[in-house]
Structure 1
Amino acid sequence: MKKITLLIIFSLLAYLSPAQNIELFPFSTAATDTLFAAKVNPAALSFGNAGGFGFLINSDFSALQDEFSLFFNFTNLAYILDQEEENIFHTVALSQKIIKNFYLGSALNWPGTGLSRSNQTLSLLTRPLDSISLSAQLNRSYEADVEYLLGFALRPLFFSGYLKDRLTLSADIAYKEEWQDPIFYLQSELADGLLLNLGYDPGEQLVCLNIEIALPQLQAGSITPLNQDYQPKQGYSYFNLSAKRRRSIIMPPAEYFFDYKPGPEIVEQKRETSFGPFYLVSGEKTIYEVLTEIEELSRDESVKGILFENHNLLTSYAGLLEIRDSLQEFKDAGKKIVFYYEQVNNLNYTLAASVADKIYLHPQGSIDLSGFSMSLPYLKELLAHFGIEVVNFRSHDYKTGANILSESSMTDEEREALEELITAFHKQAVEMINTGRSAKLSKPVVEIIDDGPYMIAGSALAAGLVDELIYQDQVEEKIRELFSIEGIVDHRATPTVRSDWSDEPTSKIALIQATGNIHLGKSRLGESIGSESLAQAIREARQDNSIEGIILRVDSPGGSALASDVIARELSLCRSGYQAKPVVVSMGGVAASGGYYISCLADKILAQPVTITGSIGVIGLTFNLEDLFEKIKVNWSNIKTGEHADLGVLYRPMSEEEKDIIRKWIAYIYKSFTEIVAEGRGLDIENVQRIAQGRVWSGIEAQKIGLIDEIGGYKTAIEVLKELASIKRDVELVAFPKRRGIPLTLESSLISEYLNIENKSGLPESLDSLLKLAEVYSQFGDERVLLILPYKFNW
């Protein structure tokens, strides 16, 4: 909006100044959007094809110093310097896309003697269809009356595929006190990079011919007026270094491998923190951004393949599966994928094996492929040594969220549930490796994994895990030989000019991300879910008339029972409240306990096979520090007015009556939880009671028992939502809550250091994890009853 306001102010200031004629070029106001856009129709600048540097001179080159023009074009701004004998003229043009397919522009032209003799142009351009372009223009000059100019352009072969944008017919008609004779134009691209354009003024019986030859980013052309006898008059020649690639007459697009660097860390949601009028955004890529980038690479004709070098991506197992699916679509488009590693861990090798055409390993490299393991510390005896008793209230034996504090070792129920989880993870990894490399392996995948890890590169080669042992400096030569490419680039190729005119109509759907532990209050985006913030985002999306549906992306182990219910209420209103609209939940790495609570009222729930979900149960924690206070000689005294005013104090054990209060509270919340699940999932309460009990499930098992509907990620969620909302068009994702302020993106390490987001304790990992667990529980304040899964899986 600020850009539009500035543009309007510029236009008004320019219009109030006197003017003189702008030189007319033989190009249509409705069809011209490249080098001469700022001269012909400034609104076309923001269409995006005009960027670059241009040089226009007299065709005989004899008056090079006396007659020339320089063009400096950007997306929304252009500057033109015209030299005409001893006179110099300046032109500044501004342009802005107002709404879809609608552009506004303004230009101010003045002589070197000052603004008092200036010209002004205010123009509009709209391209509602790929076959139709319309323009309107107001020109006010110093020497003449105001001129109004209307333009129309048609692509008659828009339906014909290859020829759709190679022929354009257009006309301009001016009004100066009365309507003038129209001027007609023909633009054609006879072959790639060979353009022939004609302009015809029937009133003056004049023809203008333009021939242009194009290389990918260099164009040269001539503009030749013809007199009434069709004899050529003095014309112009021009050269253009374009910011975008054009179809070329002699140089077909080169094919490259793209050295893709998406990580190392790939997050569900960027961390954000407000800072005055700014909001600081961490620099990691999100999973959705990576999926989008891979899709763009698959459409880029210059990209023949992707190279991943030494990338042990840090993200969830479920996130890697979404990336795997996107890479498979990239391969299905006929493109290649190569991985090179010096050392690689379990899951990143699994990803590579599932989609790679080639996997290379350093001669001294290693592959840590050995299956999955999970170790947990149990602190009951350590805490007891210091005089701390943990009272773990839980709805069921499978609700083990606080067991590491209250138990001496893993319980049978906890072991059973976790073994089933890592078995599902292992099965998925085996399936992925089999998909991509079964024909190259020396033995079955299960035996290959049992023989791991592969610390000697030669062993990995002998097992068929990699295709060759090479050094990093040999990678490019190998890829050139195998795939006949021009080379490897680490940046995207220059984008191509737009050949289509209109943006397809889209439907808007909201994307709301819920990442981290759930607590009351406001969210810390990318880190925790505040019930106030998330509920408001859902409410705003529901009440926004332009939004046709909501995707709620959940990556949360849960947290506060009360906060979870506040959020779930907003989901229920999306079903039956005012301005109800469909909601699809897409689960990330984990959506368990409170994370499942806020998901279960969605119209559809999707998860990956290895998503950790379920954990429908409740825990409550209290601490008795009586022995600790006795050891450190701290004495407590108490006065109270109510029988249970000191319920849960730390300096004495709870009575059985007090414990019974907590047990009833937990039973009530568990009953409410199961009833909401039954309502949301359309299940009998008895069935929910059977599959709940605090038990965690993998996504694939959750589908079998009815806790989720489909296996899939973002892309599947979008398709499911389109079906629910009866959306036939492409969709545009709109992030909620809507950001207010100016974004500043910092590298992850910088934003963490500056904002002290990460607590780097310097302790060993096992002890540091305990500090982080304490930090997690500190988010819930005085709340004693929680819906949370405390496990964090490191791959």
Structure 2
Amino acid sequence: MKKSITNSLLLLAAFSVMAAFPATAQEYLFPQVADPEAIFGPAMNPAALGFSPGVTLGLQTDVPAGQEIRYNPLLVSRDWRASLQLGSSGFAYSSRDQQEFFTFGSGFEVLPGFGLGISSHLPAGDWRSGEFRAGLLWRPASAASVGLVYRADAGDTWQLHPGIALRPIAMLAPEHGHRLTLTADASYDTDGAAGEYAGLQGLGARVELLPGLQVYGNYELDGNWNVGLETAVGYGRGGLRFAYREGAELQTVTSRFAVESAPHAPVPSVPQSRIIEYQGLQLIGETTGLQRFGQFSFSDGRMPIIEFIEEIERLGQDPAVAGILFTNPVFDADLSHALEIAAALQRFRETGRTVVFSFEQINSVSYMIAAAGGDEIYLRPAGSIMVRGFGASQLFFGDLLDRFGIQAVGFETHPAKSANHQITESGLTDESRENLEFFLGDAFTSYLEIIAQGRGERLAADPADLWDQAPFLVASAAAEAGLIDGILYHDQVIDLLDERYPDNSRESVDRTRYRDPAWRTPRRSRVAVLYAVGPILPGEGMQGITIGSDTLARQIRDARRDDSVEAILLRVNSGGGSALASDIIAREVYLTTRGDNPKPLVVSMGGVAASGGYYISAYADHIFAYPLTLTGSIGVTGASLHFESLLEEWDIGVDGVAVSGSSFFADPWRALDEQDAEKLQDFSQAIYRQFLDVVAEGRGMELEDVDAAAQGRVWTGAQALQLGLVDEIGGFLDALDKVVQLAGITGPVELFTPAGGGLLQLQGPAAEVARAVQPESRLPELEELIDEMRLLQQLSAEGGLYLMPYSLRY
């Protein structure tokens, strides 16, 4: 905290922007230091800049009453000012009475609700005769604000302006507190010419008649007063102010306009039945889709599944939403993610709303989501359902390597831990085949049961029989089988919904973040959401692509040490990787849940949380998995490649000097002898025992029970629950509820994800260009081969791996 305050005070001296009022008595009428006006108010209290982030460009003109305003409808004047605010800093220029002024200022919210700011107001050509201002703004609650401004010129005079502002409605209805604001300002002036003065200076009131439409008035005890009107629409704000002197003598008409980076909330209309339409929705796994391009990564614009689920929850709470229409959605997800999407749609339907799907083509995952989460499914006349039973296939390079004289020696703790078999064998071993058949059969049975439950009596036959007729079911066959509810073009689906909801409007989701007019929002308990997605590797990782041990360990450690973070939710979607990297991450999880200052940490498993993915989860306070999550695979595998025969065939000699019996241990240029092979096997067994110890300690299980559930076998989430490897079946939202409960949080929750490691992220047009020339994105048919080559590289580089032996594609 001390460091934060020091840094903020240093930053206060930075070059900055704010609206400026020249230093004359007239300029400081109606200061309102506790509730500065939105456009140019920070000129009086620079601390207000710390509470108004974003970018604002403002312009103001002042027309004296002596001019004929009716002949000047645009209020053009030589007295004007302009400002550009960039976050908490910026610059302003003003011209009045043929004098020019420049203002530099900055303000920061040093502590929640407490801000400081400074500014310099300098006349052009006479920098030494300017004025210095320092401001303080404290908003202890949404209904109260206190301000204090100190002003000093180049001479020996200075002024203090304290003020207070109240929002009485906020005490009863915080969301409407900004509708009425009352202000009172005082002044202490040491101006030598006028003598000292201390006392109440003025009173003011601001009323919001409608969202975006305000009227205000201020009265000073010496008889000056003003009234004004201000409106805010979209990204703009503007208004007029009429200033009077001692009675009803109009002194100045002021016009103000500003363009702001944060839009204002629109005027709410009468609630109307709305159908929310998702057109061409593309969903991915855990995080924003990032693709690599040289030293950069770029977002491909697809929506993370977790964000989509949260969005569906919000739509379910909106009484004006009558239903959701999905038009040609692309659910690029595994079965576990599909279950969570379907569950979110089911919760939406339980509120009495409808969910309709309109497809051109349907794949296996999309169909399961539509069948389980939708009310109706429609398919184009020329469309088809392309579904197939589950299967798993792999490439095996053992014979190829042998043909070239390359000796591939695998070492694993159990026959089922077979990731290395791809370079040591020519096909599946009996144990691997048995394990694959076991969990694939269980997963496929669950898949068909979900579809049967969703479609119910509309199905004309058992789903298993229908899937035997796959993979292609044309629209007519799909309708006859009861897999869809009708064969309609998209415009016919729209006509159907229009007839069903004659007063509805069809809209897309509004994801705009509007400006919050509240002085201070209620405190939210912070929960850090960390993502472990991809293979586990040493060093730094890339968000959504790889899990770097240094990156994830640092994120967990920082969240644990951050007093503002009350709990951690770790989302794991990984088939494992480096044993050493996994252990580094697991240590940070251990220190979080069992260290000197423990903090709740709950794991939510995605589609895969196996081997190293399970290892880093074991010390969590609670583990959630989907029924079809692939988990377990507790074991160690590895491989060693040797090229002696290849070198001999090409008459390449190898020679060297050894000073120890282990100097040439597992030398790739020499054949692996039995003694070295035994050492590699002993090494893998030692790592396996460590794996068992971590799981036994983390899960509170006996070592024998862990070993019985381990032995390299892969389990579904439902099977893992029976074995005690996970605590509960559920998804991300269930895990969030649990970690909130463990932390004892009862109020609002703020979820945040620390910045990930890795590459600079590009979005928008830059991402489109990068994606167009990025080589891998042009060759999707080679993705499987690329995955195999990455596996080969990892097997060759690591002494021991916590790695799942296969991945599934649906």
TM-score tier (shorter): 0.7 to 0.9
Alpha-carbon separation, structure 2, partners of 1:393 and 1:265: 35
What is aligned with 2:194?
none
SS at 1:23's partner residue? helix
What is aligned with 1:167?
180
TM normalised by structure 2 equals: 0.81
Equivalent residue pairs, number: 785
Tell me the alpha carbon deviations over residues 706-750 of structure 1, each in whole angstroms, 9 at most, x when there is no partner.
111123344333332333333444444554577699865586676
**Structure 2 residue aligned with 1:31, among 26, 30, 35?**
35
Residue 65 in structure 1 maps to residue 87 in structure 2: no
**Structure 2 residue aligned with 1:342, among 360, 374, 388?**
360
What is aligned with 1:571?
589
Tell me the alpha carbon deviations over residues 508-533 of structure 1, each in whole angstroms, 9 at most, x when there is no partner.
44444333333444445543334444
Contact 1:66–1:85 (CA under 8 A) maintained in structure 2: no
Superposed, 1:135-534 pairs within 5 Å as 135-139=147-151, 145-161=157-173, 164-177=177-190, 178-190=197-209, 195-201=214-220, 203-205=221-223, 207-210=225-228, 223-224=241-242, 233=250, 236=253, 244-246=263-265, 248=267, 257=276, 259=278, 263=282, 265-268=284-287, 282-283=299-300, 286-291=304-309, 308-327=326-345, 337-356=355-374, 359-388=377-406, 390-430=408-448, 432-433=450-451, 436-438=454-456, 441-443=459-461, 445-471=463-489, 482-483=500-501, 484-489=503-508, 492=510, 495-534=513-552
What is aligned with 1:618?
636
Once the two structures are TM-superposed, the CA of residue 681 in structure 1 deviates from its matched residue by: 0.5
Alpha-carbon separation, structure 2, partners of 1:260 and 1:78: 41
Alpha-carbon separation, structure 2, partners of 1:748 and 1:310: 23
Once the two structures are TM-superposed, the CA of residue 154 in structure 1 deviates from its matched residue by: 1.8
Residue 47 in structure 1 maps to residue 52 in structure 2: yes
Contact 1:131–1:158 (CA under 8 A) maintained in structure 2: yes
Contact 2:18–2:40 (CA under 8 A) maintained in structure 1: no
**Structure 1 residue aligned with 2:735, among 717, 740, 748?**
717
Question: Match of 1:611, as an amino acid?
Answer: T
Once the two structures are TM-superposed, the CA of residue 32 in structure 1 deviates from its matched residue by: 4.5
Residue 683 in structure 1 maps to residue 690 in structure 2: no
The 1:246/1:228 distance shift into structure 2, 3 A limit, reads farther
SS at 2:14's partner residue? helix
**Structure 2 residue aligned with 1:558, among 559, 576, 582?**
576
**Structure 1 residue aligned with 2:803, among 766, 777, 788?**
788
Once the two structures are TM-superposed, the CA of residue 371 in structure 1 deviates from its matched residue by: 3.4
Contact 1:257–1:485 (CA under 8 A) maintained in structure 2: no
Residue 581 in structure 1 maps to residue 599 in structure 2: yes
Alpha-carbon separation, structure 1, partners of 2:274 and 2:119: 40
Alpha-carbon separation, structure 1, partners of 2:579 and 2:712: 14
SS at 2:330's partner residue? coil
Alpha-carbon separation, structure 2, partners of 1:4 and 1:477: 62
Stretch moving more, 78-87 or 279-288? 78-87
Stretch moving more, 644-653 or 716-725? 644-653
Tell me the alpha carbon deviations over residues 312-368 of structure 1, each in whole angstroms, 9 at most, x when there is no partner.
233433334444455556666777655443223211232233334554433322222
Alpha-carbon separation, structure 1, partners of 2:748 and 2:417: 43
Alpha-carbon separation, structure 1, partners of 2:27 and 2:347: 51
The 1:640/1:121 distance shift into structure 2, 3 A limit, reads closer
Contact 2:417–2:805 (CA under 8 A) maintained in structure 1: no
Question: Match of 2:337, as an amino acid?
Answer: G
Structure 2: tracts of 5 or more residues without a match: 191-196
Alpha-carbon separation, structure 2, partners of 1:225 and 1:254: 46
SS at 1:184's partner residue? strand
Q: RMSD of the TM alignment (CA)?
A: 4.7
The 1:471/1:139 distance shift into structure 2, 3 A limit, reads farther
TM normalised by structure 1 equals: 0.82
Question: Match of 1:65, as an amino acid?
Answer: V
Alpha-carbon separation, structure 2, partners of 1:39 and 1:474: 58
What is aligned with 1:600?
618
Question: Match of 1:608, as an amino acid?
Answer: Y
Contact 2:360–2:384 (CA under 8 A) maintained in structure 1: yes
Alpha-carbon separation, structure 2, partners of 1:597 and 1:30: 54
The 1:734/1:532 distance shift into structure 2, 3 A limit, reads same
Question: Match of 1:606, as an amino acid?
Answer: F
Alpha-carbon separation, structure 2, partners of 1:410 and 1:742: 41
What is aligned with 1:127?
139
SS at 1:180's partner residue? strand
Contact 1:123–1:135 (CA under 8 A) maintained in structure 2: yes
What is aligned with 1:20?
24
Once the two structures are TM-superposed, the CA of residue 773 in structure 1 deviates from its matched residue by: 2.2
Contact 1:607–1:699 (CA under 8 A) maintained in structure 2: yes
**Structure 2 residue aligned with 1:698, among 716, 735, 739?**
716
Alpha-carbon separation, structure 1, partners of 2:670 and 2:181: 87
What is aligned with 1:660?
678
The 1:35/1:255 distance shift into structure 2, 3 A limit, reads farther
Structure 1: tracts of 5 or more residues without a match: none
SS at 1:779's partner residue? helix
The 1:149/1:769 distance shift into structure 2, 3 A limit, reads same
Contact 1:519–1:780 (CA under 8 A) maintained in structure 2: no
SS at 1:588's partner residue? strand
The 1:751/1:631 distance shift into structure 2, 3 A limit, reads same
The 1:536/1:488 distance shift into structure 2, 3 A limit, reads closer
Contact 1:20–1:142 (CA under 8 A) maintained in structure 2: no
Stretch moving more, 251-260 or 403-412? 251-260
Stretch moving more, 111-120 or 779-788? 111-120
Stretch moving more, 396-405 or 19-28? 19-28
Stretch moving more, 368-377 or 288-297? 288-297
Stretch moving more, 520-529 or 110-119? 110-119
Contact 1:34–1:50 (CA under 8 A) maintained in structure 2: no
Stretch moving more, 343-352 or 449-458? 449-458
Identity across aligned pairs (percent)? 31
